[in-house]
Structure 1
Amino acid sequence: MRRLYLDNAATSWPKPDAVYDAVDDWQRRVGASYARGASAAADETRAIVDRARRSVAQLLGESDPRRVVFTNSGTDSLNLALRGLLRAGDHVVSTVCEHNAVLRPLEFLCTEGVETTWVGCDSEGVVSVDEVAAALRPETKLIAIVHASNVTGAIQPVEEVASFAKSQGVRLLVDAAQTLGRLPLDVRSLGADLIAAPGHKGLYGPLGTGVLWLAPGIEEDLRPLRLGGAASGGDRLEMPETLPDKFEAGSLNAPGLAGLAAGVEHVLATGVEAIRQRMTDARGRLASGLAAMDGVRVYGPSEPLRQAGVVSFSTEGYDPHELAMLLASVGGIECRAGLHCAPRMHAALGTARQGGLVRFSPGPGTTDSEIDAAVTAVGRLIASPLT
């Protein structure tokens, strides 16, 4: 049975051929650690990692690639930002729309004297800037907000939140897991202080890669979570203070970063605006096809430009996990069902008690015929529900 992959919100697949080639070439031909030797192979690994860093910086509109820190995942990046920045007595404002990669670190930090205020959302999953502003206190150090929900796809008003945060002297962390590489994102216009993202979603890199962008000055307040060997300062017992070495202890995932370099270069060559347009079209085709069926409810904003390419829905007659399993077994459709590691979001939508939602997330390469096949498969199952 042919695979119909609709789980790009979890990880992008298939990757561009250049990504597979880059990983394979490093593994078979290069093989040397980053900044761990003076051989020609070690020099080539350094050049590959530097190329990946420059490419991510270019995508972000950042002129200084050193401000791009490589991590092991988006979750790793968010943990570094939250647990590295916050101290006992600090207050954080975050939202119910967040992924567990934010919820759980903040829950842990609560045991260490950090307090969080959770801001709600409307029925489409959109947060109010006024409510975020009202939640601030004199001791608020950080606002942590997802750029686009992995459940509803709702794009949050991050620029407006950033403007208000700056006026109050509050730092802003943006989780760009669903948007970096898929929506235009420029650090100068966005106004954030930290931007975290995985490498394996919109950047087309392999699993095991992540990035954290730091605005000027943040590195002075941010503590490294992982300590050890780095690309500089090997004669000292303390971690180096220079970027990005301060936050990159241990051997970097060189084959992963080789693939990431190729993936980001593919995004830059294709153009983020072109990727966004294709994602908007694909999401619209999916959402309209599903919403036209009796017994189907689609969640998230109806306005295409307020949505990041995720279609989550419920159906009468099926538990979301049942439907997802049937779609996989009958139509080869690979999607995601459940709470999507976002329990507060589902509680806010009223979908937690039903076991969550089914989520389709196409990629830029998903064809119209594949989208139509997925819609048809849902329609056939609804027409003959389990009893």
Structure 2
Amino acid sequence: MNQPLIYMDNAATSWPKPPGVIEAMEKCMREAAANPGRGSHEMAVKASRVLFEGRKALAKLFRIHNPNDIAFTLNTTHALNLALMGYLRPGDHVITSSLEHNSVRRPLEALRRRIGIEVSYVKTNALGTVDLAVLREEIRPTTKLIAVTHSSNLTGTITPLEEVGAIAKAKGVKLLVDAAQSAGVLDIDVGALGIDMLAFPGHKGLLGPQGTGGLYIHPDLELEPLMHGGTGSASESPEQPSARPDRYEAGTPNTVGIAGLTEGVKFVLKETTERIHARERALTVQLMEGLMAIPGVKLLGPGPGTERTAIVSFLMEGLDPSEASFILDRQFGIAVRSGFHCTPLGHSSEGTTETGALRASPGYFTTESEIVSLIEAVRDITAAMRGSAN
């Protein structure tokens, strides 16, 4: 296969990255690759600056007052585990949704088995997002946390966080948001939205490398650390330090990766989430309308008129999604994702628990001609399927 790759798997990891990301990582490796916070020599100080610059950029993007309220993690999954394992206690009740990724569901189910928390899964409404009326009804005296995705990684539908945040605040319940599909794409103001904890990846909409991410923790909220160990501070104590962010960042961090993440965030700040979302939104509508015109293709979730992130999941009649993905890759040079996308509850809501689905997720650097190529490829494959059936 000699044709250039058409990459439509940005919901998993964004690609390509802005040139500055690679340049920043190389510069960090050459000039600041020592352990931050573990020494006073020049290279260690430079490494510490890399982390602080990253926190500042993220704080600016999410309107966080104190950059030290951001703990760097390996990814969103790490951040969500830190939030859930660190906050919930035996007997606590948690409300989440049927849109959630396994990064939320599995830690909750593990806590249910281990310490006896209670979990309620709110189903979606006609628009494919969290049903707010049901959410209100689920709140109990023991409810401590509402944990919701900002945008579904299966259908791209967007949770009305402002309304969810208002419900949580009125009932004295904390709000944890999974921003895996929204950070860098949708405007997120943690204060205005009433977010107590925000888990985000570095390698998706923030355009950084894999192995980076973070968790914003409200200054009034204390979590039990997920990991205990070296921090370079309060080393004489057997206890994990109380000061942020050290309390939540045991061990040597991914300084080089965070250098790249910082440049990705700076790119987002320069372009603005408004422009990025508008660009991705236009590509998504183009793709959805093109696929809807093909006989035998079924789209999941609401139609193109509904506000969403750049995720389009669909089925091709008579063809297993994994086989369709293989054909798209090998014959057309188009990378999409097939399977269950780590969200079995979402597939249950869509009626695709037996088949899974194909997921195409364009990004900011996707072109209109690449969207056309995917539409034409799907049209060719379905036409060939119909021809073989006859």
TM bucket, shorter chain: over 0.9
Tell me if 1:312 matches 2:305: no
- Report the TM-score when normalising by structure 2: 0.96
Match of 2:8 in 1: 6
SS of the residue 2:302 aligns to: coil
Distance 2:363 2:229 in 1: 38
Report the Cα offset of residue 145 of structure 1: 0.4
Match of 2:297 in 1: 296
Distance 1:100 1:110 in 2: 14
Match of 1:76 in 2: 78
Tell me if 1:379 matches 2:382: no
Per-residue CA deviation, residues 92-147 of structure 1 (Å, 9 max, x unaligned), is 11111000000100110011211101111135521111111111111011011000
Match of 1:41 in 2: 43
Distance 2:65 2:112 in 1: 36
Describe how 1:143-182 pairs up with structure 2 within 5 A: 143-182=146-185
Match of 2:270 in 1: 269
Counterpart amino acid of residue 8 in structure 1? N
Report the Cα offset of residue 189 of structure 1: 1.5
Match of 1:233 in 2: 234
Distance 1:116 1:86 in 2: 11
Report the Cα offset of residue 82 of structure 1: 0.5
Report the Cα offset of residue 304 of structure 1: 4.7
Per-residue CA deviation, residues 149-188 of structure 1 (Å, 9 max, x unaligned), is 0000000112111101111011110000000101111112
Tell me if 1:122 matches 2:125: yes
RMSD in angstroms over aligned alpha carbons? 1.2
Distance 1:293 1:235 in 2: 67
Counterpart amino acid of residue 34 in structure 2? A
Distance 1:21 1:40 in 2: 21
Counterpart amino acid of residue 250 in structure 2? A
Distance 2:18 2:43 in 1: 25
In structure 2, stretches of 5+ residues that fail to align are none
SS of the residue 1:62 aligns to: coil
Report the Cα offset of residue 338 of structure 1: 0.9
Distance 1:230 1:217 in 2: 22
Report the Cα offset of residue 383 of structure 1: 0.3
Describe how 1:50-61 pairs up with structure 2 within 5 A: 50-61=52-63
In structure 1, stretches of 5+ residues that fail to align are none
SS of the residue 1:188 aligns to: coil
Per-residue CA deviation, residues 163-221 of structure 1 (Å, 9 max, x unaligned), is 011110111100000001011111122111111011100111111111101112112xx
- With over 3 angstroms needed to count, the CA separation of the structure-2 counterparts of 1:255 and 1:266, relative to structure 1, is same
Which residue, out of 121, 134, 137, partners 2:137?
134
Describe how 1:182-197 pairs up with structure 2 within 5 A: 182-197=185-200
User: How many residues in Structure 1 have an aligned counterpart in Structure 2?
Assistant: 384
Tell me if 1:357 matches 2:330: no
